[in-house]
Structure 1
Amino acid sequence: MNIDLTLVLNQVVWGAMVGIGYTLMAMAFSLIYATSRTINFAIGEFAMLAAYFCYTLLAKVPVEFVGPALVSLFAVAVLAMVIERLAFRRLYSLDPILILIGTIGLSSILKNLALVIWGPFSFSFPAYFQIRPTYLGPVMFIPQNVIVTLVGIAAMIGFDRFMRKTRTGTAMRATAQNVRGAKLVGINTDRCINLSWGIGAMLAAISGIMMAFAYNISLDMGTTLNLKGFTAAIFGGLGSIPASVGGGVLLGVVENVAAIGFDYSYKDVVAFAVIVLVMLTKPQGLFVRSGSSRRV
């Protein structure tokens, strides 16, 4: 069997770039889980809503892309924080399975709300420049994919700096480590959990807008991003942000390399297979040591 090394190299690079989007989703899952012990399956719908919001603002207001994107990010973050405060805060004492079912219900509500507002149609952002691939040696790069990758990396760096260099970020990390201990030292853990929902939704929104910018916007994109983000989080280690970064990039690479031997339409099957294999062999995640505490 002859292996085209150039093709393999391109698939690895493209997979790593796609994996940045998965990483942001995985970070959203892990952040919310670490602080509230909740697996939020509405995260993908927040990403989808952000893409639709951004598209609508661009269609209504003739401005540059950055402004509507930022407005969409903050709108989705506020929506997530309001939903957490009004609907989910009183549920944290219940069985986690019931809360998970609640987030699935929220996902369905948000998806149907988008269906009512925007209809069952797919949309695309305007083309801001000519899509002409460039080459760096044997590797082909598409400009818009490079842009969304750089934006994703910038978002990850910004999130890391926020969590490590600010008092609020330190309080959120303490809440993720030990909620009871954080309360004993005077940290408002309810506020930290609420912020984790908002920041998690914002990370997901960045991923949603990135994917919409590179591809298109559809009602099903939230479901797809949910699957990939949750898989990446499980792959790396749910509840650990650094592990989620590794899991997202690795998942993107695995999917794209697997597409060499299988039809590309089977990439979602690869994601499910990854979940099953990791849960069977190393349920705590590939990048988390056994017995280690979750950390953000």
Structure 2
Amino acid sequence: MSFSLATWNINSVRLREPIVLKLLQEEAPDVLCLQEIKSPADKVPTQGFADLGYTHMVVRGQKGYNGVAILSKLPIRDVGDKDFASLGHARHVAAQLENGTTIHNFYVPAGGDVPEREVNEKFGQKLDYLTEMRDWFRSEKPEKSILVGDLNIAPREDDVWSHKKLLKVVSHTPIEVEHLAETQDAGGWVDVTRQDIPEGELYSWWSYRAKDWDAADKGRRLDHVWATSDISNAGHSSRVLRAARGWEKPSDHAPVFATFDL
């Protein structure tokens, strides 16, 4: 079984339904994982997705904030969610394909602007969220699983436009990178994107604040595709659809793709 998968922080699924439909029409991934849908589950605009063959969906929604959804052409079953750090936020949902592969869709907290727990509660929540993810993976020992989502951390020096300038900027600070590495190691997760594209600058997010995001190219790789080591070699064809950042009324994130032969 071969299937393609994409992950995309859409920054409001209702506001940006037209570009979700554009992605589904033009790229046609078998599975699309969305983050920051900013919608209750019953308000997600499902008809257009269904008309394109995406008749299967699991959602954890929230009015105006957060929210994650998995759309699929392939049959999937809902296998639950976890409220890491007890925030009461819709930030995780998992679904399982008929071949037994579990897909985890995550939206890790952004962490605010100041990278200090003592003065910024949101930064502490982000670190706590990652710690609880780590501990869960240590206890659960995931197998035959894929983890995708906006993890809100760019771990490598070539995952940001300037390693030196961003060392004290939330999303690339050493403590966040360390927490993410511990989480990855705890589950035996392999970074499929960097397995496929091991060298060079690679970004999936560009700020709305840039007048010309494409020319400035001050990006960060915040969106990730991981797989457990037992299936990581089945992943290939990774890419970032940078062009989507320039679509009409875009998200500030671009979709990240991979294909798995399982």
Q: So what's the TM-score if we normalise by structure 1?
A: 0.23
Question: Which has the larger share of strand?
Answer: 2
Q: So what's the TM-score if we normalise by structure 2?
A: 0.25
Higher Cα Rg, which structure: 1
- Say which structure, 1 or 2, has more relative contact order (CA 8 Å, 6+ apart): 1
